[in-house]
Amino acid sequence: MTDASSCAFCEIIAGRAPADIVWEDERTLAFVDLRQPNPGHALVVPRNHIADARTLDAETGAALMGTLVRVLRAADRAFPNQGLSVWHSIGPAAFQEVPHLHLHVLPRRLNDGLLRVYPTHPEDAERQSRADAARRIREYL
């Protein structure tokens, strides 16, 4: 686990690393991602070093969501698109590259080939399987 002293996003937040900032407030920061598969790809991060959403507190989460909505509406108006993708990856299986919570905002174009969720069309799960999954999640709420 990376701590704040070696975190690329903490360096940006502290002003020690360059970034193209699009929004900032007391709890959050948004900046243009280095990678631009489509123009307007931006990241929204909490100012506090939080590895991922599993340890996110409610106040920071609310602030993060407010900034996310502000940035995605701006990206939607600023860049031609036929939709937007918003995501947060957690851990290596989800390809999280920087262990600081960050939400991606990516304007999308039809057939851009990005972020295909399912490699093939999945079958609907059986009713009992869905009920079992719901029960297991409820046990931890």
- State pLDDT tens for residues 40-64: 999 999 999 999 999 999 999 999 9
The pLDDT tens digits of the residues spanning 110-128 come to: 999 898 878 788 889 999 9
**Single-letter amino acid code for the residue at 21:** I
**Burial of 18 from C-beta contacts in 10 A (0-12 / 13-18 / 19+):** exposed
- Catalytically active residues are 102
For residue 113, which phi and psi values (nearest 5 degrees)?
A: 75, 10
pLDDT at position 3 is 66
What pTM was estimated for this model as a whole?
A: 0.90
Q: How many domains does the chain contain in total?
A: 1
Range of the domain at 69: 4-115
CATH number of the domain bearing residue 36: 3.30.428.10
Residue 67 has pLDDT above 60, yes or no: yes
Averaged confidence pLDDT in the chain:
94
Structure confidence at residue 121 (pLDDT): 83
Please choose, from the candidates 18, 81, 75, the residue with its C-alpha nearest in 3D space to the C-alpha of residue 44.
75
